[in-house]
A = this chain, B = another copy of it.
Amino acid sequence: MELLKNRICHSGQVIGNDILKVDSFLNHQMDVQLFQEIGKEFRRRFAADKITKILTVEASGIGIACIAAQYFDYVPVVFAKKFTARNLNAEVYESKVYSFTKGTHYLIRVDKKYINSSDNILIIDDFLANGKAVLGLLDISRQAGAQIAGVGIVIEKSFQEGRNVVLKENIRLESLARISSLKDGKITFVD
């Protein structure tokens, strides 16, 4: 998606060899006009799929997922909530996610009322790096017995393992910008 790549080149900030800060338009300050184009592009890529629900995780996936839902016939958006403490509760699907940033695990939860076996789910998130958050969302979708149409990612760090982690699960992955390297402060895309 050229518009997105241009924006990443123009406004992204590389820190070290593997961190890309895009908080001026994606995950702190948010450019909703860009989100609309992102939403339309997800729709184009999943045009043949009858999506019934969009699933994401708090916090930075929420804005993108809500804007995207407008192009998917207004299907409901569900965001998994993050917790640090276990709390046995029969009413939620829960999955454990490892955070590389923090070096610890956290839990994500979705109320059982909001996804079920008749759903065909599109998982959306802003970043794909190690793939742990997406694995958690896949786990929760499967616990619910739902179909998974695929995963839509805004920015994929293709030099990390996330892509292979998702593909190994036999899940379709659509990343709108794929970054092959951030070495020496230079943003290089796949292809």
Integer count of this chain's copies in the complex: 2
Give chain B residues whose Cβ lies under 8 Å from the Cβ of A113: 24, 29
Give chain B residues whose Cβ lies under 8 Å from the Cβ of A23: 111, 114
Per-residue interface assignment for chain A, residues 19 to 33, with 1 indicating a CB less than 8 Å from any chain B CB and 0 otherwise:
000011000111111
Give chain B residues whose Cβ lies under 8 Å from the Cβ of A66: 30, 32, 35, 62-63, 66-67
**Chain B nearest CB: distance from A21 CB in Å?**
10
Q: Does A44 contact B (CB under 8 A)?
A: no
Per-residue interface assignment for chain A, residues 81 to 121, with 1 indicating a CB less than 8 Å from any chain B CB and 0 otherwise:
10000000000000000000000000000110110000000
Which residues does A use to contact B, with CB under 8 Å? 23-24, 28-33, 35-36, 58-59, 62-63, 65-67, 69-70, 74, 76-79, 81, 110-111, 113-114
Bound CA span A159–B83, Å: 29
Bound CA span A111–B74, Å: 32
Can you pick out 23 interface pairs between chain A and chain B where the beta carbons lie within 8 Å of each other?
A23-B111, A24-B113, A24-B114, A28-B78, A28-B79, A28-B110, A28-B114, A29-B111, A29-B113, A31-B74, A31-B76, A32-B66, A32-B69, A32-B70, A32-B74, A32-B77, A35-B66, A36-B70, A59-B59, A59-B81, A62-B62, A63-B63, A66-B67
